Amino acid sequence: MDHDEAAPAGTGEGSMISRRQILMSSAAFSRVALAAGVLGSLAGAEAAEVPPPRPNIVYIVADDLGWRDVGFQGSDIRTPHLDKLAQEGARFEQFYAQPMCTPTRAAFMTGRYPLRYGLQTGVIPAAGTYGIPLDEYLLPQMLQDAGYRTALVGKWHLGHAKPEYWPRQRGFDSFYGALVGEIDHFKHSSHGIKDWYRNNKPLEEKGFDNSLFGEEAARTIEHHDAGRPLFLYLAFTAPHTPFQAPREYLDRFENIEDENRRAYAAMISVMDDGIGKVVAALEKRGMRNNTLIVFHSDNGGVKSSMFAGDSKISGRLPADNGPYRDGKGTLYEGGTRVVALANWPGMIKPGAVGGMVHIVDMAPTLASLAGAAVGKGKRLDGMDVWATISQNMPSPRDEIVYNVDPLAGAVRQGDWKLVWKASLPPKVELFDLSGDPSEAADLADRNPDKVRELQARITQLAGEMKPPLLIMEAVRLTFFVPPVTPDPSVLFSLGD
């Protein structure tokens, strides 16, 4: 499938898949074969011509997690619950998100590059009045229309200034958590303003936010009506700044001398324990074997204080992105290639998934599994990658669009990656990721034809993009607000 074509909608519940469709669609065959337990036998396909069971979906996103900062990636930060899911499921080697929080979440919700609707630049700031455009058909709406119960627990960060941007109005049956990008983890506030909600109402509640998220997610499962499939989007605020954690978790890492790294590790441990509670709740309800769990970070770990958030940070930034260059906010691999896994007992082959997967692929993939319609006429950039996830089959994707905005762009085709800083002074870098995943050797001067080819692709995408809403907001705040003047009492005291 071409990357600009919409992925086909999945089969509906109770519909039949023909033998011809099975033979023509590797993704459809993978789902049917796995459901029937005949992983390579066309002879058994005739008896298996029924749709796979529509899974419950638990989709878990960490906030600013470093690529190496989980146990199964070799970290000293203990994450036993995530490690077990990774050991028994698929571990992604090339899972790509956007460089920052809002764009990644928007790409997940829409299956479309954020450049198509103005969310490609930065994040929605606390003073921002915009959100993900209301004419975008979001994944929870797709799943809700297909009969799923939809719940968001955690961080939204796709529009907070107007209620029409809020989760309950964008396809979620329930919402518990924070609307903005960064909150004090104990006070549940941003810039001194409380940001803590249940559905559409402010909520006064004590506790560490990420502990509360894990508990709420487990309760959501415990009280779920098993007559309907569940889509639970669990978006932790860990380990995003400020680096805070309960004392009992800080004590787990008393061997770590650096205060930031100790708190960062503790926050990851809180998240891991919350994920353990979610898995236990699924097992208790008898839902585990029909639940797809996906986990990844929204971007790479923070390596520059410019992208650390609103909180003032002193000392060393603690995230570890392993072999990958730089981190959050950049177009290098450290900002965009993120730790990720998927787990569905009996339906996902354990092991490493080598093919490229982009965050925009998740909406059409999940919608197809759920029998949900996608797009509503809008062109999707994502494609159904279920066969890649479930059986480590070759990815249908041969291109990664890291991002394109008025200042910079980056795109990968095959193993060639171009990073183009277009603002003055301009800079163009070309990397061959097959032998240089750390992006240490710039090959632009030696490969001018490849540079021109990838620059042409970025220019094409730039011609398709909408103006960044953050820039339009900055213009509004700069030129269309009342002037700032001194306090009148101060002027009076100055005299003439």
First vs last C-alpha separation in the chain: 74
Six-digit token string for 440: 């240490």
H helices, E strands: number in the chain: 14, 18
List, as one string, the DSSP characters of 460-484: HHHHHPPPPHHHHHHHHHHHSSPPP
Is residue 343 within 8 Å of 365, Cβ to Cβ? no
Is residue 367 within 8 Å of 143, Cβ to Cβ? yes
Q: Which of 81, 157, 160, 185 is catalytic?
A: 157
Task: For residue 57, give every residue at least 6 positions away whose Cβ sits within 8 Å of its Cβ, in sequence order, or none.
Answer: 143, 148, 229, 230, 231, 232, 291, 292, 294, 366, 369, 370
Cis peptide leading into residue 133 (ω within 30°): no
Q: Which of 101, 160, 188, 224 is catalytic?
A: 101
For the chain, give the number of residues. Answer: 496
Query: Does the annotation count 224 as an active-site position?
Result: no
The neighbour count for residue 93, using CB atoms within 10 Å, is 15
Is residue 248 within 8 Å of 306, Cβ to Cβ? no
Cα distance between residue 158 and residue 248, in whole Å: 32
Query: Does the annotation count 188 as an active-site position?
Result: no
Q: Which of 24-30's residues contact partners 24+ apart within 8 Å by CB, and which partners?
A: 26/387, 26/393, 27/368, 27/384, 27/385, 27/386, 27/387, 29/387, 30/386, 30/387, 30/390, 30/391, 30/393
Q: Which residues are catalytic?
A: 101, 157
